[in-house]
Structure formats: C-alpha cells, structure tokens
Amino acid sequence: MQRMFLAKSEKVKPSRCPFCAYKLNGAAGMVAVESETAKPSPGDFSVCIECANVLIFDKDLSLRRPTYEEARESRERPDVMQARDIIGRMIASRPVQIVKH
C-alpha cells in the first residue's frame, strides 16, 4: 500500500459533525506527497477530528452522514481507513479534561 500523508489543513465551509456536533471548519486531505494539499469536492470522504466517524462532503460542501453504501465503500478505501487510524491515534493521545462539579 502506498504511504499517504495527512496534508496541511485547508479552510472549508463551517459545518457541524452530524455524529458529535463538533464544529468543523478545516479539512486536511490525504496526499501522496507531504507538501501537497487537497481541497474537498462533493462526494469526497472525510473523517471527523473529534469522533473519527466517516463523513461525506455534500453538494454544498457541508458534511453529512454517509449512506449505508458509502459507509461500506469507506471501509474498502485504504486512504479513508488510514485517515481514521491517524485521527484515532490523535484522539487517543489527547489529554483528558477534568471537569469538576
């Protein structure tokens, strides 16, 4: 499998994650060359940086939940799975927030 990189984040239309409601206003493409960047297009996959769920860029580039078919396709895409892996590790390494009563 070709090694992919998570590119620098590009500004995108602010949109809330339909799973966790986290406000997303940037997206980093998975690119073959580390210095490249990638702008999202309608139908592209995305991964939420807060909950690591797979999302889809809609026609207006807002984010929506994948359909059953899209979710199945996402699991067959090495780039999407690699993005989930990278983001999952970022989430796991975050410090735990202590909220006192």
Burial 76-95 (b: 16+ CB within 10 A, else e): eeebbebbbebbeeeeeeee
- Report if residue 32 touches Zn ion, rule: CB under 5 A: no
- Reading the block at residue 86, the tokens are 């990278």
Pick the binder of Zn ion from 4, 31, 51, 61 (CB under 5 A).
51
Which residues, listed in sequence order, are joined to residue 94 by a DSSP beta bridge? none
CB proximity list for 85: less than 8 A, separation 6 or greater: none
DSSP 8-state code for residue 61: S
Give the interface segment with Zn ion, choosing from 28-36, 43-51, 68-76, 91-99 (CB under 5 A): 43-51
Pick the binder of Zn ion from 17, 27, 54, 56 (CB under 5 A).
17
Give the interface segment with Zn ion, choosing from 5-13, 44-52, 62-70, 80-88 (CB under 5 A): 44-52
- Report if residue 20 touches Zn ion, rule: CB under 5 A: yes
- The residues of the shown chain that bind Zn ion, judged by CB under 5 A, are 17, 19-20, 22, 48, 50-51
